[in-house]
Chain A
Amino acid sequence: KSISPTAVTPLDRRRGQLAALSIAAVVIIVGVPLWWRTTETYRAWLPVSQIKDLAKLQLHLSADVEVVFARVDGDLLVQFIILRLQNMKPARYETKYRTATIMEEDALKKPTAAEADLSLHMLSESPCGSLVVYVIPESSSLLPEDVNVYIGQRRTALVRISAQMRVGKTLEQLLAQLEPRIKQVLQVMSFSHTDITVALSDRVRFRPGNKESIADSMRAFKSSPGYEITFSLLNPDPKSHQLHWDIEGAVQTYIQPLLTKLSPLANFSIDSQTLYYTMLGVTPRFDSSLEAYTLNADSLAHVINPVEARLGSNAASSNPVLNFLLYVPDIRHSPLYIHDHRKQEVPSNAFHSPRWGGIMVYNVNGFYGSETEFPVHVNINMAKVMGVFLAQLRLLLGVQSLSPPPGFLVAPCGSTGLADWELDRLMWSRSVENIATATTTITSLAQLLDQIGNIVINDNIAQQVSSAVTSLQLAMAELEVGNLGFALQYSKEAILASEKAFFDPSLLHLLYFPDDQKFAIYIPLFLPMCVPILLSMLKIVSEVRQRRREKQAKKE
């Protein structure tokens, strides 16, 4: 019996089946996991659950308030009052009450409120974010007649109560007067609900209560780790005026103290320049009644653009720039005054643009007569100029100018240009803003990375995100306790880390792979390989089935 060479013996068939099965096994057990591992993108672990918790953003803010009673006739009375106050529950907040020490009493006996404030400050320095309210009796002569509250330059306020210190029914009067007064003081000197809502305006869509709050939120620069301040002197007529300004000295004396005080908030870098032959884009009108040229408020909006093209900026940093321009009008348009909507002259002769900077017009025609030889040497009075720029700088950085409630007297802000409690308010709104922005950034980053499965998440990004999350938690904890300085610092760290993570150049997702493209890529690679395996599998299965049928048939 001869077997044809092409006949398939059972042994061959067995060998073939084993080969097909082993290849299929290798492909499935070794090949598929290997392919999966080598084509997956590296994604470092992110603390997603903590980010979700942070996204709820439950902020608890607290501030230390200390109320000090100046001694009145009869110690007993004051102690009794303190006991009564501490036992009263209906107040929403708890405050610390105590009587004044001897040294504080001496300080409160000073002739004017400003001196009292100064000597109180010398006695003890209140930490960042706290407040001390001194309650003085009506008999005290510190405050003028119609003023009931004096808000000092630092963190103290003097409140005068005008009830006779008698036990009994006037105690209720005393309390009734004290509590709302203290609330008003807190509204002015410390954070308020509106401030916090404005700081969170990115996240919380609020119905703006008043026009001023919208204007305030649009005017101040957003929180940024650094700012650049540029002072420019615009001299359109160097043939007539040769201007000298001691900008270095002026910055050192007037601006630097403010910036040093604001250094917990951000870094500042200052430049200055002089620009020649730069005109304002608007032609001023001659007003014969004043013998001067005027710019009215409506045309001011078109002044800035032609000038801005020439200003230049520091190419290396991407920090927001505040421009302060000092414009000295040319001799044909001197003197130049700015008029408001009611045709009244603006005393500072300056205007500012939200989130951009300020321009001041400085007239020099008063410094020389008509017979002088041109060019005239002019020394600019930097104190006056810097006074205006400092006011504009305050507004642009977010120090709100509130009109205090009636009966309040607010001390002028001093040589640094910023009172301590104004700094505290800024710090609060900045901390809240930083925390909100960092939380939004981290949340949207986490969501973006979740949605797009193809983005590679490197280790450094994961580390930045983790450190941002840690800083955020610490910042919220510090805010709850009332350590404003630490809270601001942590919030700054959080925002730096979150911005770094979000704007990392490696997170660009050009890997938009729709599903049909995925099929188009993998089918030519895997189909030719899989078809023989699949077919041999099918053949094995059909043979097994056939054998089983034969066995069945044999049994019967």
Chain B
Amino acid sequence: MATYQEFIQQQEERDGVRLTWNVWPSSRLEATRLVVPVAALYTPLKERPDLQPVQYDPVVCTRPQCRAILNPCCQVDYRAKIWVCNFCFQRNQFPPQYASITEQHQPAELIQQFSTIEYTITCTELIQQFSTIEYTITVRTADTAQCTDLIQQFFTIEYTITRAQCMPPIFLLVVDTCVDEDELGALKESLQMSLSLMPPNALVGLITFGKMVQVHELGCDGCSKSFVFRGTKDMTARQVQDMLGIGRGGGQQQPQPRAPQPPGAPGQQPGQPAGPQQLNRLAGNQYRSFGSRFLQPLHKCDSNLTDLLGELQRDPWPVPPAKRPLRSTGTALSVAVSLLEVSLGIDSSAKEPSKRCTFPNSGGRIMLFVGGACSQGPGMVLNDDLKNPIRSHNDIEKDNAKYLKKATKHYDALAARAAANGHAVDIYSCALDQTGLLEMKSCCNLTGGHMVMGDSFNSSLFKQTFQRVFAKDQRNEYKMAFNAVVEVKTSREIKVSGCLGPCVSMNNKAANVGETEIGVGGTSQWKFCSLTPNTTPVIALEIVNQHGAPIPQGGRGCLQFITQYQHSSGQKRVRVTTITRNSSMSGIATSQLRRFDFLSWADATTGMPHISAGFDSEAAAVTMGRMAVWRAESAEGRDVLRWVDRMLIRLVQKFGEYNKDDPNSFRLSENFSLYPQFMFHLRRSPFLQVFNNSPDETSFYRHMLMREDLTQSLIMIQPILYSYSFNGPPEPVLLDTSSIQPDRILLMDTFFQILIFHGETIAQWRAAKYQDLPEYENFKQLLEAPVDDAQEILQTRFPMPRYIDTEQGHSQARFLLHKVNPSQTHNNMYAYGGQEGGAPVLTDDVSLQVFMEHLKKLAVSSQA
């Protein structure tokens, strides 16, 4: 029946999960020898058109330390109306509304194919993010006594029973005005257009910046009003609050509070100054009304905002010759973060999480549009003197980047704040030069925001990409979710090492948090301020079972991913994915495994073949790729490469078949055979090679690798190449110089670029316009085929890739030549086949063949 391949594919489709090892070693010791850690690539919002969210709250294990959710793997005693948690083995009573369940009449969450299920929940606090405990506080489902207990323990009454409001998303536009007139014009158009794409109930705000930072008040008639901040000064949220007059007496200038006056609040008499108490109430009012005149529902301020955008002028401050304009990106972003904080009543200074936010769960995006590097104030990347170019990798290596550390620190802090508030930061950077993405990267990386790098706001790359931010799925729902928390429940033998993805730690020190840290560790919960259906973190796990200890009861390893998030409609939802396997003892044939049991425990000594058979080289490549990138952020490039090499060698040593010291005897099993090639391309990829890339580009590439799903990530690591010829249908070909043939058209997808390469002959034909001749219709079709395919990719890819149409010998062909395996170079072009055709590449890089030679040699070496 199912092969591993099929099983894996099915798993991915249904649950959005890919594991590096589908059969797990039974002990910690054995696990460490696997070299590639056990890890799951989990796509929390995997698009599942067939999956309808259920309209009730999940049933939660009552053990305070567990709080896992009822799932198909749980043992259920239908008669006693009791279920046993498969993580902690706690016996739980079903809640009253489950009284009628029987084996024939099961709730969805108990049905096997609902290993992934989505709940729409009604109680705000279910999503409490700081401790699993609050998780149980579902007023309707928890038993009353328990509930009361918990309430006393963790919440004030009012706080808990507040019903979740349907929270609209927030979009705060932060626009750079230090750009050329036509750039600004294009940007304004895009922004105005985007208003029509946003949900009408969304709260929208506008901040513009140049030398100064202006926060625009929306909904003013007769006199446009904005609050101005000095671009050179960083401000705390409190200062911003004071200056904007939010939450204080000054806020009363607001036309009228939209929230009803709290009952009993004495009406303000104009004559008397508001006392502190009244002010507090007023402040409360404002939070209720979603903070203010700076964030207004789109349907209310649409025309106003359109006008405002239309009237945007370039930054008027004169720029002396040989100077850059003064651009206060750092301050603008800081103000934006603060604005959202204060508008939503978030007290970023509060230590205690529960007090931190008076009005939680309002996800939002800060959309930052920059046309250049920040040149003053906090977060300044370079100064305004054109004499000093922006830092390069070389400068960074030589510690010559004067502002790097300080700026990075500034943006890191902002990112942390935004993340803590549940707000994503998108950066849309469009400039020919760098704009400081290196410094700002954590804003996107920690919050799950988008990072888009383009040349111009006037390019379709930007325009399309930006439109796609507001793309909708088949159900006409926005492909974005906010303020998500992903939690991982594990059975006892497994612990969580960390997460590699666009997230921040929630710092919950649950029992299943492992000792080793990979990526964002030390927690089993992570916050993703923004999720797209593609967002796929790698969750690294570790096996903690001691060597020789019995295989756990039932022999099943269980993982439960619980993702709570704010749906773009404002609903609070929880998606639960549970995967679990029987323990696979030695001797059980693959074919005997039940469908469910591919993920299995394997005794290290006896089960190695099973383990080996359960290896997913694609998942492993992505996992290792991300680990390498994670390391590259802090370590030096060469060390990372060495680490990649070492890990590869150790893996093939472990799983290859060979005779010692005989490279020729070396063989790898089928499911490992692609892995070295992935590693070869990973080593050559811009993720680890910074040569010829600007720091910004590197940051951008790495950013994308850390978040995309497995397929996309793999494309990034090893681009795919299709060949179109008269010889047959399009076929994937080796990413090798040998694939470059005069009579072929190549389509390369590197994720970041879509490149169509016309072989020499084809190019000549095309130049001769044969395609226009009726008799060469087939040639025309050949020419069109890759273009159509490319369009298809372009339609769906986010961000929009750079589209390149080139031909043999053309300068743009370098993108292809740069990627292909240099099996033919100027060094060996006469040695290797001239018969193959192909095009030599001018490089000294080693080719895959050479790489493999060395790998074999090292793998079999007894000295290693």
A binds B: no
Chain B interface residues (CB < 8 Å from chain A): none
A residues near B (Cβ < 8 Å) are: none
